[in-house]
Structure 1
C-alpha cells in the first residue's frame, strides 16, 4: 500500500502527460481516422517518458535539486534562458488548452457554454494550487483520473472485433487519408505523451516530497507504474475510437465525439463517468502545467519556490503561478476553440521537445552532480535513440502541419 501511494506522483504525472486534453484529442483523432495504426507511437512514447522521467527523478533524489535548477548551472545562464523562454511559452499555451479541456468537460456535464466555465476553471485551479497540500493534490487528482478506465471497460462491453484490432495495431496503414496526415497525427500523439512540462513537474514534485537517495526505488516504482498506466488509458481511447467512430466516419472535433463510445456502451451513466474522467485528467494537467511554469521561472532565477512554502515566503513563485493561470484564461476568452488550440499546442510542443530532453540527458551523465548514479551504458543508448526520435519529431512537426494543413 505504501508503494501504491508513492506511485501517485507518477500517476498524476502520467494522467497529465499521457491523458490530458492533448491526448484526448490526439488519441481520439488517431483512432477515429487510422484505427490502431498509431499503437507503436504510443509505445515509443511510454518508453521515452519512462526513461527520461527516471533520469529526472534520479537527479532530484540524488541532488535534492530539480532538473531546471541544474540545467541553468550546467549549461549556463544564456542557454538556460532560451530553454526557459521556450518552455514557459509552451507551458502557458498548454495550460490554456487544459483549462479549455476543463471547461469542455463541464459543458459536457451541464450543457452550459464552455466560455462561462473558463474563468471558473481558472479560479478553481489557482485556488487548489494555493491552498491544497501537495500530497493531497496528487492523491485526489491522480487517482480520480483513473476513472478514465471506463473506456477500457467500454471496449469489452461493446461488440469488438479483437482480431481486427490486433491486425491494425501491427500493420500501420494510412487508411486512404495519405501518409502526410498519418505522420502528422503520429507527431501530435507522440508530443502529447512526452509533453515538455511533464518531467519538470515530476522532478520538482520529487523535491517537494523531499526525495533522497534512499527513495530511488520508490521514484522508479512511481515511474514504472504511473506512466504505463497513462499509456494504457491512452491506448483505450484510441481503441474505442477505432471500434465506434472509425466505422461511422465520425471525426473528433470536440469531447462529445471522444465520449461517444462510452455513451453508446453505458448510456447516461457512461456520459456522467466520461465527463468526470475528462474533468479529472484535464484539471490534473492544468495543475501540473501551472506549477511547471512557476517551477521553471523560480528555479532559473533562484527564487524560493514550492507548494510547501507559504505564499509570503515564496511570493514571486506564487505570482508567476497566478499570472500563468490568468494568461491561460485570457487566451481562452479570445473565443479560440480549445480543440484547435490543443492541436496547435501539440505541434509547438513537438518543436520544443529537444530543449527539454537534451539537458536532462546531459545532467544525468554528469558525475559532478550524480557521482556513481550517472546513467549506465544501456540507459544512455536508449536515451540517445529516443533523443533522435524527439529531434526527428521536432524537425518534422512544422513541415507536416503546413503541408497537410494541420492533418486534414
Structure 2
C-alpha cells in the first residue's frame, strides 16, 4: 500500500496537470469533430511529457532544487525573469480556466448559475492550498480523479465502431469537410494541453515537498513514467467516447456538460455522478497545482522560503503569492468571460510558450555541476532534442494557426 501511495504525486500531476479543463475541452471538441484522427497528437504530447517529466524527477531528486532555483542560478537572472513572467501569466490564465471549470461542474450538479460558484471555488482552492498537507492534496484529488476511467467503460458499452476508431488512429487524416489549418490548430492545441508549463514547475517542486533524493530516485522516476501515461490514456478515452455520440450527427461540443453526455448514455445516473466527481477532482487539483506553481516559481526566483512543508507563518510570502493568484484568477472569471474560451486561449498560449519552460530543464539535466553522474545519457539527449525541436515548431505555428482559423472555428 505504501508503494501505491508513493505514486500519488504522479497521479495527481497527471489528473490535475494533464487531464484538466484544457484536456477535457480539447479532447471533447476534437473527438466530436475529427474522430480519432488527432489521437497521434495526444500520443506525441504524452511521450514528450514523459521524457521531460523523467528529467524533472531526476533534477528534483539529485539536485535537491526546485526548477526556478536552478534556472535563475544556471541561466541568469534576466533569462529567469522572462521565464518567470511568461509562466506566471500563463499559469494565472490557466488557474482562471480551472476555477471556471470547477464552477461549471458545480452548475451541472446543482443547476445554480456558474458565476455564483466561482468565488466559492476560489475560496475552496485557497483553503485547500493553505490548510491541507501536500500528501493529502495528492491522495484525495489524485485518487478521486481516477473516476474518469468511466470513459473507458463508456467506450465498451457504446456502439463505438472499433474498426473505424482504429483506422482513424493509425491513418491520421483531415476529415472530409474540414480545413487543414483547423485540423492542425487542434493538433497543436492537444500537444499544448499535454505540455502545459505549470506541470513541470509543480512536479519538480512537489518532489522537493516529498523530499526526493538519490536514494528514492526510482520512486521519482516511476511517478513520471506511470502518472503521465495514465493521463494520456484518460485523454484518449475522453476523445474516443465523443465519437459514437456526437460524430455521426456532426454535433459540435461547446460546453462541459456535453463532454459528460456519453457517460450518461452508457452508464446512466451512476456514471454521471462518477464523471462529475472526476471533473471536479481534475479541475480542483489543477487549480491547486496552478496556485502552488505560481507560489513555487515566484518564491524560488526571489529566494524566499517556500513549500507546504513549511507552516504558513514560516513561509508567509509564498502563501501570500498563492492567495493573490487565486484572487486574481477569480476576479478574471467573474468578468463573465466564457470559461471554455479562456480554456482554449490558455491552451494555445501555453503551446506558444512551451520552449521557455522545457529548454532550461534540458540544460540543467545535462549540467554535471548539479547532476553529477545522473546527467542525461546520449540517447536521452537525442530524444529530448528531437522533442524540443517539435516543441519549437508547435510554438511557432500556434499563433498563426490561432488567427488563421479564428481559434478553430
Q: Same fold (TM over 0.5)?
A: yes
- How far apart, CA to CA, are the structure 1 residues paired with 2:131 and 2:197? 26
Secondary structure, counterpart of 2:313 in structure 1: coil
> Could you tell me how far 1:248 is from its partner in structure 2?
2.3
Give the aligned partner of residue 42 of structure 1: 42
Alignment of 1:315-326 (within 5 A): 315-326=316-327
Give the aligned partner of residue 54 of structure 1: 54
In the alignment, is residue 215 of structure 1 matched against residue 211 of structure 2?
A: no
Deviates more, 1:60-69 or 1:295-304: 60-69
Give the aligned partner of residue 260 of structure 1: 261
- How far apart, CA to CA, are the structure 2 residues paired with 1:272 and 1:40? 30
CA deviations on 1:163-210 (whole Å, 9 max, x unpaired) are: 111001111122121111101001111111111000110000000111
- How far apart, CA to CA, are the structure 1 residues paired with 2:133 and 2:118? 24
**Are 1:34 and 1:173, in contact at CA under 8 Å, matched by a contact in 2?**
no
- How far apart, CA to CA, are the structure 2 residues paired with 1:399 and 1:40? 21
**Are 2:160 and 2:243, in contact at CA under 8 Å, matched by a contact in 1?**
no
- How far apart, CA to CA, are the structure 2 residues paired with 1:229 and 1:26? 17
Secondary structure, counterpart of 2:353 in structure 1: helix
- How far apart, CA to CA, are the structure 2 residues paired with 1:169 and 1:243? 15
Gaps in structure 2 of 5+ consecutive residues: none
Gaps in structure 1 of 5+ consecutive residues: none
Give the aligned partner of residue 26 of structure 2: 26
Alignment of 1:185-200 (within 5 A): 185-200=186-201
**Are 1:107 and 1:113, in contact at CA under 8 Å, matched by a contact in 2?**
yes
CA deviations on 1:331-360 (whole Å, 9 max, x unpaired) are: 000000000110111111011100000000
Give the aligned partner of residue 343 of structure 1: 344
Give the aligned partner of residue 373 of structure 2: 372
Give the aligned partner of residue 405 of structure 1: 406
**Are 2:105 and 2:280, in contact at CA under 8 Å, matched by a contact in 1?**
yes
Give the aligned partner of residue 130 of structure 1: 130
> Could you tell me how far 1:3 is from its partner in structure 2?
2.5
- How far apart, CA to CA, are the structure 2 residues paired with 1:139 and 1:214? 22
**Are 1:251 and 1:257, in contact at CA under 8 Å, matched by a contact in 2?**
no
Give the aligned partner of residue 150 of structure 1: 150
> Could you tell me how far 1:136 is from its partner in structure 2?
1.0
Give the aligned partner of residue 278 of structure 1: 279
CA deviations on 1:129-155 (whole Å, 9 max, x unpaired) are: 000000111000001100000111011
Give the aligned partner of residue 334 of structure 1: 335
**Are 1:92 and 1:328, in contact at CA under 8 Å, matched by a contact in 2?**
yes
> Could you tell me how far 1:268 is from its partner in structure 2?
2.2
- How far apart, CA to CA, are the structure 2 residues paired with 1:43 and 1:398? 22
> Could you tell me how far 1:245 is from its partner in structure 2?
1.2
Alignment of 1:292-303 (within 5 A): 292-303=293-304
TM-score scaled by length of structure 1: 0.99
- How far apart, CA to CA, are the structure 2 residues paired with 1:147 and 1:135? 19
Displacement over 4 Å in runs of 4+: none
In the alignment, is residue 2 of structure 1 matched against residue 8 of structure 2?
A: no
TM-score scaled by length of structure 2: 0.99
Q: Once superposed, what is the RMSD of the aligned Cα atoms?
A: 0.8
